[in-house]
Chain A
Amino acid sequence: MARRRQAGRSAVLLKIRAPRDFWGGLALIALAAIAYWATRDLGGMQGVAFGPGTAPRIFAGLLAVIGVVVAVTGLLTDGPDIEGFALRGPAYVLAAIVAFAVMMQGMLFVPPFGLVASSFLAFMISIAGSREMRWVESLIAAAAMTLFCVVLFSWILKLPFPLWPSFI
């Protein structure tokens, strides 16, 4: 598998032999660079005392060094391919979480919807991410979970959540 891939890309100057290491290492370097850039305005050593920027820059520097080593390892040793990223799962899970956050607090053009609607919708969006979703069962489960959350968080724990939309 690895050999075939190499043969296919023999024109490339340096072959990426362990893509997980190579791209992982590059990402580490990028992370270190961002951190270093973000601390550019912070004071460094003041005499013998650390400034606010000293420690982050030390750690960012070390991270960059390790990032380079990891990336180079990816060029010199063989490793497994990166598993394909699924799109469906992350997309629905993310959509559910974002929907909850936006509806709960009210953001952009969305008014606050309250706990009941936010939980119910977040449940329905995330369950749609599963390939085995069944409508009736999902609606019942979503209603049950919403009821459970209202009982637990609002009634038993008395957290000050608005339950219903503010605009009704």
Chain B
Amino acid sequence: MFDLFQNLALGFSIAAQPANIGFCLLGALVGTLVGVLPGIGTVATVAMLLPITFGLAPVGALIMLAGIYYGAQYGGSTTSILVNIPGEATSVVTCLDGHQMARQGRAGAALATAAIASFVAGCFATVLVAALGEPLTKIALWFGPSEYFSLMVLGLIFAVVLAHGSVLKAIAMILAGLLLSMIGSDIETGAGRMTFDFAELSDGIGFANVAMGVFGFAEIIRNLEVSKESRDIVQAKIKGLMPTRQDLKDSAGAIARGTVIGSILGILPGGGAVVSSFAAYTVEKRFSKHPERFGKGAIEGVAAPEAANNAAAQTSFIPLLTLGIPPNAVMALMVGAMTIHGIVPGPQVMTKQPELFWGMIASMWLGNLMLVVINLPLVGVWVSLLRVPYRLLFPSIIVFCCIGIYSINNSASDVLIAAAFGLFGYWLVKHDFEPAPLVLAFVLGPLMEENLRRAMLIARGDPSVFVTRPISAGLLFVAAVMLALAMLPLIRKRRDEVFVE
């Protein structure tokens, strides 16, 4: 326990350096901005800003990128409540009750509840990351190649189970992602694989190109289809930012439950902020004494999902920092950011670079504090940004993305590859394929193949090693159960219902 405080003290001494406070604030501001603006996702933003972090110190770069991720969770709720359009996928359910509250003249209370819920959840999740970091790092020491492989299988299966739509199609996306990740030189023999004799492909496809294509460009193409958006901003002046005593009493339980649900789903690979907000809302509605109030401005319907998405955004750093496995697409980009600075994510980060590990955790708490200030008193500033029409926004995003991709390698072919993935992503959406599992598999692919090959070599070509080693067998068993459950018709129906709601 004493160690924990000592470590946190070290973390705060790093995070409180003026430069790092600056990066934290910058990340929180950019995060809020993309959170507020509909049509710009977190993944695309982090991918866009990746090249910008080249010149920064690693701690500062990671603090800023992390700030963007959890900052977007705060900002997303503002648009949901005031405009009834989710600013971020994680705030979809917040629209239901949040906008109703705004219509009833309680926009201030809704915004404040969302911010308070996010803050409470953020504080709890920060402590959780700090507390779980060390024990999990120790567990990682027992992991051999077969355990790592099985863990990644489990992560990908989670991504399948939590994706909406057909389970089979999600698995197909995983396999396609794995195949795409194998383009380029083989790690062991150096043989060029599936390069079709293009020199541009000999180093493989850059992750940023894929992410920017399927999340950035494809999203824009999709948004352009919708002819004209109607933004029905609640015009009345927002007053009474402080929630009443009754509001706080009503939402306290929901915040606590949302935080717990979000923390758990965030840690699981493949989970993440989107699913946890849906789950928290469903739980609140099901266990409420007055489920009929939901959808008509129930304050719990704002508090629970907002607590859950922020908690999940933060606990998703746990598998990344302790095991080196990114549980979702944003964390996958963080792997990219760490690799740029020569840091290999995994258990050794904590022992070899404690100032990075603890500095980042401490900055999360500071960032949450800043976000409450950024979001509540300054809410008017963000709302006025919503008046910038999309027709001016999307060309800016395109230009910014192009320059971002180009700057990574000074290569025009990277830009063209991203454009191709944009069209591919558009095609995927039209055929009900979800791009998120593909991107996750694309990132995990090289790690997975390396561990698979090592495990097989150690076991002298005997594949039973994955089920005879206990930890590996346990992980695979959980994966199999999850997959079986997802395929069962009854649960599948319930799962679809949750997404429809």
Contacts and interface: CB of A to CB of B under 8 A. Distances in A.
Given A42-B186, A85-B426, A93-B398, 7 more contacts: A39-B194, A48-B460, A62-B175, A66-B175, A101-B419, A105-B411, A127-B394
A165 to B, nearest CB: 16
A107 interface: yes
What 5 pairs across the A-B complex have the smallest Cβ distances? A48-B461, A89-B224, A105-B412, A52-B186, A24-B431
Q: Would you call the interface of chain B mostly helix, strand, loop, or mixed?
A: helix
A83 B225 CA distance: 11
B227 interface: yes
Contact of B391 (A85, A98, A133): A133
B425 to A, nearest CB: 11
A96 B398 CA distance: 8
21 contacts: A27-B427, A45-B461, A55-B453, A59-B178, A62-B175, A63-B176, A70-B168, A73-B166, A86-B224, A90-B426, A93-B220, A93-B422, A94-B419, A94-B423, A100-B399, A101-B402, A115-B403, A127-B392, A138-B392, A142-B395, A145-B396
Given A31-B176, A59-B175, A102-B412, A122 B399 contact: yes
Nearest to A37: B194
B221 A48 contact: no
A132 B391 contact: yes
A101 B406 contact: yes
B267 interface: no
B395 A66 contact: no
A69 B92 CA distance: 32
Q: Would you call the interface of chain A mostly helix, strand, loop, or mixed?
A: helix
B398 A97 contact: yes
Given A48-B461, A59-B175, A119 B193 contact: no
Interface in A10-34: 20-21, 23-24, 27-28, 31-32
B189 interface: yes
B225 A35 contact: no
**Which of B54, B225, B396, B432 has the largest number of chain A CB atoms within 10 A?**
B396
A85 B418 CA distance: 20
Contacts, number: 200
B169 A126 contact: no
B477 interface: no
Given A55-B182, A86-B221, A98-B416, A50 B189 contact: no
Interface string B141-156: 0000000000000000
Interface string B169-183: 101100110110010
A93 B453 CA distance: 41
B348 interface: no
Contacts of A66: 168, 171-172, 175
Contacts of B171: 66
A100 B175 CA distance: 32
Interface residues of B, number: 65
B191 A56 contact: no
A157 B430 CA distance: 38
Interface in B251-301: none
A94 B402 CA distance: 11
Given A89-B225, A97-B422, A126-B394, A53 B193 contact: yes
Interface footprint category on A = 35 or more
A122 B221 contact: no
A9 interface: no
A159 interface: yes
Nearest to A46: B189
A90 B412 CA distance: 19
A40 to B, nearest CB: 10
A130 interface: yes
B449 interface: yes
B188 interface: yes
Interface in A91-132: 93-94, 96-98, 100-102, 104-105, 107, 115, 118-119, 122-124, 126-127, 129-132
A88 interface: yes
Contact of B221 (A27, A82, A90): A90
B228 A132 contact: yes
B403 A48 contact: no
B430 A83 contact: yes
Interface in B201-230: 217, 220-221, 224-225, 227-228
Interface string B422-440: 1100110011110000000
B389 interface: yes
Given A97-B217, A132-B389, A67 B172 contact: yes
Contacts of A137: 392
Nearest to A107: B412
A131 B402 CA distance: 22
B7 interface: no
A92 B118 CA distance: 39
B19 to A, nearest CB: 15
B452 interface: yes
A55 B389 CA distance: 47
A97 B98 CA distance: 38
B456 interface: yes
A140 B230 CA distance: 24
A24 B221 contact: no
